Structure 1
Amino acid sequence: MQELHSLQDLGNVHLLGIGGVGVSAVARLMLARGLAVSGTDAKELPVLDDLRAAGARIAVGYAAENLGDAETVVISSIIKAGNPEYDEAVSRGLRILHRSEGLASTMEGHRVIAVAGTHGKTTTTSLIAYMLRAAGISPTFAVGANIVSLGVNAEYGQGRVFVAEADESDASFLNYRPDVTVITNIEADHLDHYGSVEAVHQAFYEFASLLPESGLLICCGDDAGSQALAVRMRRERPDLRVQTYGFADDADRRLTDPHPRGNRFACSLEWGSGEEAELEIALPGNHNLLNAAAGFAVGLDCGLEPEVATAGLGAFTGAARRFDFRGEAAGVRVYDDYAHHPTEVQAALHAARAVAGEGSVHVLFQPHLFSRTQELHAGFAAALSEADSVHVLEIYPARESPIPGVTSELVTRGLTTAGGLVGRDEAAGVLADGAKAGDVIMTIGAGDVTEQAERILGVLEERQGS
């Protein structure tokens, strides 16, 4: 089992890539706990001014001398040998922690609620944090996105509850020691790290196994992987409390009658011996009702009255780049979504259909990573084909080098709807020209496709003014 590091033993902490959403969250919490914090990022970012105001010493541009008197260095997965500050830390023999280990140190003394899953973990973590804050519990939280409803991606609260998004992409979620674990779903992803679907499932099993005696495991009963984990843990760990949620008839927290209500979504939620509540949220789609049901289960475990839990969940308005409404022009609504797995794409399009009503849904999609596109291109094509038109940008490489033969054409070949490949410069015009009043346009992907949303709105506004 991975060694846990006590916050008081870290000394002066220097964070590499401090402007990133995950590392900046660690920095915020360490500053709030009174640590001396410094850090570096490759470029100037708005979050750096926030960290400076909180007391951090920030440098832009990596150089060995930036480490100063650091005793511990925190890094993200993208920091490698060859980075001058990383190399300097190694040469000095400094303690080097992964971002997750740094975050784990800030959890000391808290009751930890960790949310993991292939999809939905950011929204579910945010829903839980917002619900608990609205109920007056004042949780500490760390989320892997900027959350409009919360105002920040991490905050040190006055209560004993710590809510954290647990990232499975590199198995670093095994560095946490949760008391409550939420598993939204388990599917094939990040195979560049795991190598096989079986290894992904094994990692989630090991994560669930970290729960202590009487710990609570909350699993989505509608997802085959999550449900299988619940069954296995009930068999192998009878000391745990295991609960399921979903539309399935045998779910412990059961959703029924999902339906739109104006711009909101609602359903009935049943649990226990005939207990029932009305759940209404501001986020579209059945997948978000499931995320809220997971939050409701956590709320009950934290001692909230059902009506307090549902009120908090209903007031949450969303996380950045999760079906994010970017604006409307010429009667066309434009949304942006971070979806980068076929299941996420399908969920986003189901939500778009519900919002569009009689209108059409048009998508600009950008595949993320060569390895993911190689493994999942058929699934992407099938999911995207639910839209009325789909145009696809070239692959966003992020941390990867190209793989021979792997291009966005793998996705477009499998499409059964209108569209095809489109260049970055022409994309906004193509999408805007294909839409009419009442339609919905979505930009989808984990790369810089998000920038296209504003460009599309600009073209639509020009059309509206002409």
Structure 2
Amino acid sequence: MTRVHIMGLEGVGMSALARLLRGEGIEVTGCDLAPGRRAESLGVPVHRGHDPGHLQEEDTLVVPTPIPLDHPEVEEARRKGMQVLRRMELLAHLLRQRPSLGVTGTHGKTTTTGMLASILLAAGLDPWVLLGGELSLLPGNARFGLGPRLAEVDESDPLFQEVEVAVAVATNLEADHIAPAGQRAPNYHASLEELEKAMRGFLSRAKTVVVPTFDPRLLRLSQGFPRKLFGEGGDLWAEETELGPTGSRFQLVYQGRTLGEARLQVPGAHNVQNALAAALAALSFGVEPKAILEGLARFPGVGRRFQKIGEVRGAWVVDDYAHHPTELKATLATAKLLGRRVRVLFQPHRLLRTQELWEGFAEALSSAHEVVVLPVYTAGEKAGITPEALSRRIAERLLALGKSARFLDKEEALAYARATATPEDLWLTLGAGDVTELAWRLVHED
């Protein structure tokens, strides 16, 4: 592998792989339907759109999960005798090169990976890092280093079960990324049973498995593997926890021995659990407690994880990637610590997920003071229902629960939020799509 062409180069995972390949001296080209900041920052040739003519002297084509393998560009690569790798196959290959750690799970994997990266940096281990988000410590979404390899491993991709790492962390596991009955997609599991089978496959390949005491599904799936548990009743837990509006502190206790006080710059009880997962993984990898506490204290938070963008008319504007009911609940609980009136701009993410979870979205959002629901961000999916109709269903359910809710398109929502913002408010933009643009526009446009 000396010259690689990457499809979907703007994606956070694909651009991270490109950055790491370049660190190894491999030439990279790429393409994307809408090349943007990430692709352009790589400083490599980037084509707009997908076309077999993009392929020139490359020897390998890397394909993101959603693109079918009968795509014309993929077929042309095969005709030319190129090696064709799925994103997860390339990641598995790269992680096998050195001692490695992998973090997966339905929620919290990006933050936990970011915390682990901060710990490995504090320990002076020169880590190689692939992250599903932006972290200023790296900088960006990847870091090339000559030390241990650390990656966020996306459980939505069924191929993640083939990834082999020394320390495998699973933060939690819920029924997400599962296609509705009778429907299939490359980045969805066919059933909960298939997701569980894939998770067990991933865990089975590790020398040490790190899972929470409070997730019965993961406890069952990791049974029989060499494992360590975080949370109450496990190997590592938190005592004397103090949650604040902008961070928290707690005593880190390992097998009955207090390692010291951990301080976090990121708020929320869920981030205490993420910190425990990262700390136990680091201990399992041989990192000293001092570096673990230092790394947790330095961790500034990942982009789009309860990130304050600024203010509008005295109201705080905070952006968060939450796109599953459990994540929405955790984010809203954190928002309430600020003591402001919580108002939400929510953009559901993916049609198939929203079809399955729309009632759960409404229930999770019901703790907010007010909710504006935007059309579903489809990510290119098609289904038998429109994005607008699905979102209206969530808004109508919230109204039935007695909540203040409305359905608006993006421009209407932006105008409404700006016109009604007060110093008592926290406007929270939620979703894994492009709703983040509204947060930035709300703060920076007049």
RMSD: 2.0
How many angstroms apart in 1 are the aligned matches of 2:406 and 2:245? 34
Which position in structure 1 is the counterpart of 2:160?
173
Match of 1:361 among 342, 352, 373: 342
Q: In the alignment, is residue 440 of structure 1 matched against residue 426 of structure 2? A: yes
How many angstroms apart in 1 are the aligned matches of 2:220 and 2:36? 42
**Which deviates the most, 144-153 or 286-295?**
144-153
Q: How do 1:29-48 residues align onto structure 2 when only pairs under 5 Å count?
A: 29-48=20-39
1:298-344 deviations in Å (ceiling 9; x for gaps):
22223333232111111111111111111123321111111111001
Q: 1:119 to 1:329 in 2, by over 3 A?
A: same
Which position in structure 2 is the counterpart of 1:383?
364
Unaligned residue ranges in structure 1 (runs of 5+): 1-9
SS in structure 1 of the partner of residue 362 of structure 2? helix
Equivalent residues, number: 433
Q: 1:176 to 1:382 in 2, by over 3 A?
A: same
Query: How far has the Cα of 1:458 moved from its partner?
Result: 4.9
Which position in structure 2 is the counterpart of 1:328?
311
SS in structure 2 of the partner of residue 448 of structure 1? coil
Query: How far has the Cα of 1:181 moved from its partner?
Result: 0.4
Which position in structure 2 is the counterpart of 1:451?
437
Q: In the alignment, is residue 198 of structure 1 matched against residue 185 of structure 2? A: no
Tell me which amino acid in the other structure corresponds to 1:200: L
Tell me which amino acid in the other structure corresponds to 1:109: Q
- Decide whether the 8 Å contact of 1:144 with 1:165 is kept in 2: yes
Q: How do 1:51-450 residues align onto structure 2 when only pairs under 5 Å count?
A: 51-52=42-43, 56-80=44-68, 83-159=71-147, 161-192=148-179, 193-211=188-206, 215-230=207-222, 233=223, 236-237=224-225, 240=226, 242-246=227-231, 248=232, 250-261=233-244, 263-354=246-337, 356-357=338-339, 359-404=340-385, 407-415=390-398, 416=401, 417-450=403-436
Q: Which runs of 4+ in 1 moved over 6 A?
A: none
Query: How far has the Cα of 1:158 moved from its partner?
Result: 2.1
TM-score (norm 2): 0.91
Query: How far has the Cα of 1:261 moved from its partner?
Result: 4.3
- Decide whether the 8 Å contact of 2:212 with 2:219 is kept in 1: yes
- Decide whether the 8 Å contact of 2:161 with 2:200 is kept in 1: no
Query: How far has the Cα of 1:82 moved from its partner?
Result: 6.6
How many angstroms apart in 2 are the aligned matches of 1:135 and 1:377? 43
How many angstroms apart in 1 are the aligned matches of 2:172 and 2:156? 14
How many angstroms apart in 1 are the aligned matches of 2:33 and 2:4? 18
- Decide whether the 8 Å contact of 1:78 with 1:399 is kept in 2: no
- Decide whether the 8 Å contact of 1:30 with 1:106 is kept in 2: no
Query: How far has the Cα of 1:432 moved from its partner?
Result: 3.6
SS in structure 2 of the partner of residue 172 of structure 1? helix
- Decide whether the 8 Å contact of 1:187 with 1:200 is kept in 2: no
TM-score (norm 1): 0.88
**Which deviates the most, 178-187 or 277-286?**
277-286
How many angstroms apart in 2 are the aligned matches of 1:47 and 1:394? 25
Query: How far has the Cα of 1:365 moved from its partner?
Result: 0.4
Unaligned residue ranges in structure 2 (runs of 5+): 180-187
1:243-264 deviations in Å (ceiling 9; x for gaps):
1112x3x122112333234632
Query: How far has the Cα of 1:370 moved from its partner?
Result: 1.5
**Which deviates the most, 129-138 or 217-226?**
217-226
